[in-house]
Amino acid sequence: MKREYDFSKAKRGPAIPVPKGKTRITIRLDENVVTWFRDQVDKAAGGNYQSLINDALRQYIARTREPLEETLRRVVREEIRRAS
């Protein structure tokens, strides 16, 4: 290692740029929630727990926007599939 480094041309910011369409935030989640998502990644033998959390939030948003009739139809289809 050098004794001194030249930072005169350095730029501030994250070492890895945030991809377009993504926003970096700080969020506090319950430990058991994060553990559950990390366990899911371990069971799948890889992946990213943050992506799983993002997918779960997207599904929640899609379902809350779903009209009541569509929700009922989806639930009935799922139950019929389970009973078969």
- Examine residue 39 and state whether it is found in any structural domain, yes or no: yes
Which amino acid makes up residue 2? K
Task: Please report whether residue 9 resides in a domain.
Answer: no
Cβ atoms of 41 and 52 closer than 8 Å = yes
Separation CA 12–CA 37 (nearest Å): 32
CA distance 39 to 49: 8
pTM over 0.85: no
Domain that holds residue 71: 31-83
Provide the number of structural domains found in the chain: 1
pLDDT tens, per residue, the chain with 84 residues = 889 999 888 888 777 777 888 888 899 999 999 999 999 999 998 899 999 999 999 999 988 888 889 889 999 999 999 998
